[in-house]
Every structure is written in C-alpha cells, then in structure tokens.
C-alpha cells in the first residue's frame, strides 16, 4: 500500500493531526487503494452519489475565530473564540460518479496497488491523477496506459 497521506479529493488538501490517524486506519482496515476522501456535499457537487450501505468516517476540524472588534466593544483586541466542527467523509471507492468524472479511478487504483513498483516520477503522476475528478487528457491517458502496460495483472 502507498504511504500517501489522506487528502480531500475535492480541495486537494491533505488532512492533518488526528484525522490522519483516523483515515489511514480506515484505508488499511477497509482495504482502499486510494486515500482520497470527500464529504457527501462534495460528492454531490461532482455529480456522484455514495453507494447504498456505505458508512462514512467521522473527522473533525478545530480552529479559532477572530471576531471583528466593534467600536463600543470593551474586550481586548486579541480575543479569539475556539470552534470545532465534525464532518463525515467517504472514500472515493465508496462513491459512484457519472461518465467522465473519476472515470480513470479504476486504472489509478490498479497503479496504487503496485505503487512500490513505480518510479518516483510515475508515483507523482498517479497521485496527481487520483486528485483529478475530470476526464484525462489524451496525453495523460497515453502515459497512464504505458504505466499500466508494464504492471502485473
């Protein structure tokens, strides 16, 4: 399995802190090849749906809110409020997408199962494709086919 950190396939941001442990464990437990995750709203925006019966993973986001100070506000200027928000995310492999969107996922998944056999340049290319929701260009498709041709079934 690849040692790619879990990331959001819609925003392309990598998850941080405890979410890394939660999602890495989920990838290993469920046997997902690609550590790419989406919220239900992001799946919907991409024209997809979550397969029936699939369970998401609960992650969290914690941060600080810096309210703007009003003129009549007596509080000190550096006041911050903490906040915490939970999200449920689904692995790309738990979702179905319309034609074109993530249509290359099956081939990318095959590359990820043989990740150790790829060169560093090929690894970076496959990682970039796993983050790409839209159809591949002819050039991308041809290079992916070259990589796939030398991988074992």
Please spell the DSSP secondary structure of 92-110, one letter per residue.
Answer: GGGEEE-TTTTTTHHHHHH
Answer yes or no: is 49 within a domain.
yes
Does the residue 120 lie in any domain?
yes
Which pLDDT band holds residue 75 (cuts at 50, 70, 90)?
Answer: low
> What's the rounded mean pLDDT across residues 95-112?
84
Residue 24 falls within a domain, yes or no? yes
64 falls within a domain = yes
> Is 137 within the bounds of a domain?
yes
Count structural domains, the chain: 1
Over residues 29-45, mean pLDDT: 90
Residue 47 within a domain: yes
What is residue 105's predicted lDDT score, i.e. its pLDDT?
82
Helices 105-113 and 138-149, interaxial angle, to 10°? 40
- pLDDT higher than 80, residue 9: yes
Coil/strand/helix, residue 57: strand
2 located within any domain: no
Rounded to whole angstroms, the Cα distance separating 72 from 141 reads 61
Q: Domain for residue 1, yes or no?
A: no
Whether the predicted pLDDT of 15 surpasses 50: yes
Residue-range definition of the domain harbouring residue 35: 7-149
What pLDDT score was predicted for residue 1? 44
Question: Which helix (DSSP H) or strand (DSSP E) does residue 36 occupy?
Answer: strand 36-39
For the full predicted model, state whether its pTM sits above 0.75: no
H/E run at residue 62: strand 57-65
- How far apart CA 132 and CA 19 sit, in angstroms, is 22
136 has a pLDDT exceeding 90: no
């Amino acid at each position: 399995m690849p040692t790619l950190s879990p990331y959001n396939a819609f925003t392309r941001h990598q998850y941080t802190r405890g979410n890394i442990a939660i999602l890495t464990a989920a990838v290993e437990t469920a046997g997902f090849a690609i550590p790419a995750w989406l919220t239900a709203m992001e799946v919907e925006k991409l024209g997809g749906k979550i397969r029936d019966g699939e369970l998401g993973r609960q992650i969290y986001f914690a941060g600080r809110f810096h309210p703007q100070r009003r003129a009549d506000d007596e509080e000190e200027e550096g006041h911050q409020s903490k906040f915490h928000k939970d999200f449920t995310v689904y692995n790309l492999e738990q979702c179905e997408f319309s034609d074109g969107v993530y249509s290359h996922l099956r081939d990318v998944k095959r590359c990820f199962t043989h990740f150790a056999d790829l060169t560093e340049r090929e690894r970076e290319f496959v990682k970039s494709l796993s983050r790409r929701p839209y159809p591949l260009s002819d050039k991308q498709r041809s290079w992916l086919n070259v990589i796939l041709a030398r991988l074992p079934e």
